Amino acid sequence: MAPYALSFLTFVIVPVGVALVLAFMQFDLTARDQIQYVGVRNFDDALKDAYFWQAFRATFAFVVLMVPSIVVTALAMAFGLNAMTTGRNTVRALLFLPGMFNVAVAGILWQWFYNGQFGLFNFALKHLGLPPQPWLSDRDFAMPSIVVMSLWWGLGGTSVILLAALQQIPRAILEAAVLDGAGHRALLHRITLPLLRPVLLFIVVTNTIGAFQVFGQPFLLTRGGPELATRGVVQYIYETAFNNYRMGYGAAMSWLLFAVIAVFALVQYRFLRRSAH
Amino acid sequence: MTKLGRNLVTGLMFLVAFLFVSPVGLMLVTSFKPESEVLNPESVIPRVWTLFNYRHVLGWAEEAPFGRWLLNSFFVSSSVTLLVVALASMAAFGITRVKAPGGGAFLGVVVASMMVPGQLFLVPLYLMLSRLHWLDTPAALIVPATAGGFGVFMLTQFMRSVPEAIEEAALLDGCSWLGVFLHVSLPLCAPAIATLGIFTFIGSWNDFLGPLVFMDSVRNYTLPVGIALYQTSYYTEYGLTLATSVLATTPLILVFMAYQRQIVESMASTGLKD
């Protein structure tokens, strides 16, 4: 246990402590020996920083689009897989495959699809006699495009988890309900969905936590553009800390994001738990 | 559902699966096209098959040492996997078998730490690694990665589900704790260790933010960061970037095909535990 405990202490506990201290410091790597206690000024600055709010709106837009669409499509995939008469494991593996890709590879691939001039999607549209679309270059189009790519990338894992939960529902319960005259709808609403609720809760919470931390997909597809419309909080933290070397400010914003994530996770947990009864 | 309905759904699901993998197929065939055909595709299947893109990519020496990135990625991912498996199995053994005092409380802290989002560690780790003079070295990607709680959590769960009787018998027969660990517990945990190893390798191979922040010089990049940053320079030369993507993905696809069942099923069970 000792070697792991040492590693855990050094690279988990200490960094959290450092991050906590840093959040109350002004520490700019560009200016020499400029480390100085500033109290809550970093947090104060963040709340007054228009770029921070803009980044927050972008992240929030991603969360709001991504979480419901992945939960609903994954649920549909799980039901579809469960009803399959043959080839279930093959289809399951194929749906899972994109998730094995690095975000860089997925990003390159989809940037090629979305490219305005040479992209595959616009090429297909042209062949169909339709006008090309500004998939990534329009403020309103960019985030939904990023969500579609993220769905392709992340759907498999979520579907597989839901399928496993679906297969765990005892057949006897479903058969008993059918004998009692329950129709398809009643079966779904009264039995299947309530029994899936714990797993759905898990899916919603983990996907929300993940979506709030989105970085790779917009960073690679749009670099946060157009006009910063897709620059999320993590990218703003990354740029603040590692392009502008404002470490204290970056750390403070990390804590703010963490706080928001924690609040959302707790609220979802409470809400979805309670509505189970 | 009726038999007909089920068959329709089956067909539909195959169609969906085809749509899901078609980007991968497109990537593969397009990487064998000359650039003119990439930009103006008249058919999915290349009219002219060429290895030009691959030869060009593998020939990149100074500005984009692709082979070097591949080696870096292999070195980092294998080291992380070995260390994580070693440290996590020792820790799980200490907690569940030796029952080291405070083990349970420690596990609680470890599990709680898994809730902290990774981005929070970025800035402090960067500063610590810079103090250690580890920035821009493989150590920056390897050593901190061993601290993750997932492996310890997973292996303690697994070891708790395995009866201790065999280990107790070995102890009574005069075997040392070390002997029990090496000759009894590790073989018993082989399936869980294999799963942990696969997940760790994939996670490390696909890590993007870590190497992006901690690595500085081009020759020290891992594959994902290398190809992502070079995508910027070869922006519109899709043939080249697609060839790099194929090369970067092939090792993982091979791992996936070999361990497909294990990977998918351990993923599936993550939602069932709580």
**Mean pLDDT of the residues in chain A:** 88
Task: State the angle between helix axes of B3-30 and A139-167 in degrees (0 to 180), rounded to the nearest 10.
Answer: 130
Q: Are the Cβ atoms of A157 and B267 closer than 8 angstroms?
A: yes
Task: Tell me the CATH number of domain A2-274, given options 2.60.40.1080, 1.10.3720.10, 3.40.50.300, 1.50.10.20.
Answer: 1.10.3720.10
The pLDDT > 70 percentage for chain B reads 95
Query: Is the CB of residue B182 less than 8 Å away from at least one CB of chain A?
Result: no
Tokens at residue B89, please? 């199995």
Instruction: Band the pLDDT of B236: cuts 50, 70, 90.
Output: low
Q: Tell which residue, A167, A257, A262, has the closest CA to residue A205.
A: A262
The ranges assigned to domains in chain A are 2-274
Distance from CA of B263 to the nearest CA of A (A): 9
Q: Closest CB to B87: pick one of A3, A115, A160.
A: A3
pLDDT score at A277: 46
Cα–Cα distance, A162 to A241 (Å, whole number): 38
Interface contact flag, A215 B119, Cβ < 8 Å = yes
Mean predicted lDDT score pLDDT of chain B: 86
Q: How far apart are CA A54 and CA A230, in angstroms?
A: 9
Percent over 90 (pLDDT), chain B: 26
Alpha carbon B96 to chain centroid distance? 27
B87 touches chain A (CB under 8 A): yes
Residue in B10, B119, B143 to test binding to A, most A beta-carbons within 10 Å: B119
Instruction: Quote the minimal CA–CA distance from A104 to chain B in Å.
Output: 5
Bridge partners of A25?
A37
Count of other CB atoms within 10 angstroms of residue B253: 15
Q: In this model, does residue B273 exceed pLDDT 60?
A: no
Q: Which residue does chain A place closest to B151, by CA atoms?
A: A4
CA distance B151 to chain A (A): 10
Chain A: residue whose CA lies nearest to B91: A1
Predicted-complex ipTM score: 0.85
Most confident of A219-233, B163-177, B227-241, B250-264: A219-233
Distance between CA atoms of residues A236 and A52, nearest Å: 7
Q: 3-class SS at B173?
A: coil
Instruction: Tell me what pLDDT residue B83 has.
Output: 95
Per-residue pLDDT reduced to its tens digit, A91-136: 999 998 898 888 888 998 998 899 888 788 888 888 888 888 889 9
Highest mean pLDDT among A81-90, B105-114, B183-192, B254-263: A81-90
DSSP, res A181: T
Residue B133: band (very low, low, confident or very high) from pLDDT cuts 50, 70, 90: very high
Contact state of B231 with A220 under an 8 Å Cβ cutoff: yes
How far from chain centre, in Å, is Cα B195?
A: 11
Preceding peptide of B34 cis, ω within 30°:
no
pLDDT greater than 90 at residue A53: yes
Decide if pLDDT at B274 tops 50. no
User: CB-CB: which of B20, B87, B248 is closest to A7?
Assistant: B87
- Is B78's pLDDT higher than 90? yes
Per-residue pLDDT at A275: 60
DSSP string covering A100-145, please?
A: GS-HHHHHHHHHHHH-TTT-HHHHHHHHTT-----TTTSHHHHHHH
Measure in Å the smallest separation between the Cα of A149 and chain B Cα atoms: 11
A109–B242 C-beta distance less than 8 A: yes
Residue with tokens 């897989």: A81
Q: Is the pLDDT of residue B1 over 80?
A: no
B13, B205, B238, B244: best to mutate for the A interface, most A CBs within 10 A: B13
Asked if B120's CB is within 8 angstroms of A254's CB, the reply is: yes
pLDDT at A32 (0 to 100): 66
Per the CB < 8 A criterion, the answer to whether B85 and B196 are in contact is yes
Tokens representing B104?
């349970």
- Cβ contacts of A237 on chain B, cutoff 8 Å: 119, 122-123
Contact criterion met (CB < 8 Å) for A161 and B271: yes
Interface membership of B63 toward A (CB under 8 Å): no
Q: Does residue B10 contact residue A86 with C-beta atoms inside 8 Å?
A: yes
Is B142's Cβ below 8 Å from some Cβ in A?
no
Residue reference for tokens 């910063």: A228
Residue among B9, B20, B272 whose CB faces A165 most closely: B272
Q: In this prediction, what percent of chain A has a pLDDT beyond 70? A: 97
User: What distance in Å separates the CA atoms of residue B255 and residue B270, rounded to the nearest whole number?
Assistant: 20
pLDDT score at A276:
52
Rounded Cα gap, residues B185 and A76, in angstroms: 41
User: Does B100 lie at the interface with A, CB-CB under 8 angstroms?
Assistant: yes
Contact of B124 with B236, CB cutoff 8 Å:
no
Q: Taking CA atoms, what residue in A is nearest to B15? A: A91
The answer to whether B264 contacts A96, with C-beta atoms less than 8 Å apart, is: yes
Q: Which domains does chain B have, with CATH numbers?
A: 76-219 (1.10.3720.10)
Q: Does the distance separating the beta carbons of A157 and B6 come in below 8 Å?
A: no
Do the Cβ atoms of B228 and A257 come within 8 Å?
Answer: no
Interchain pair B213, A242: CB under 8 A: yes
CA contacts within 13 A on the Cβ side of B115:
13
B interface test, pick of A110, A112, A209 with most B CB neighbours within 10 Å: A112
How far apart CA B75 and CA A16 sit, in angstroms, is 28
> What distance in Å separates residue B75's CA from the closest CA in chain A?
17
Using alpha carbons only, what angle is made at residue A215 by residues B117 and A45, rounded to the nearest 5 degrees? 75
Q: Which one of A94, A103, A168 has the shortest CB-CB distance to B17?
A: A94
Mean pLDDT, residues A139-164: 92
CA distance A88 to B228: 34
Contact B117 A212 (CB under 8 A): yes
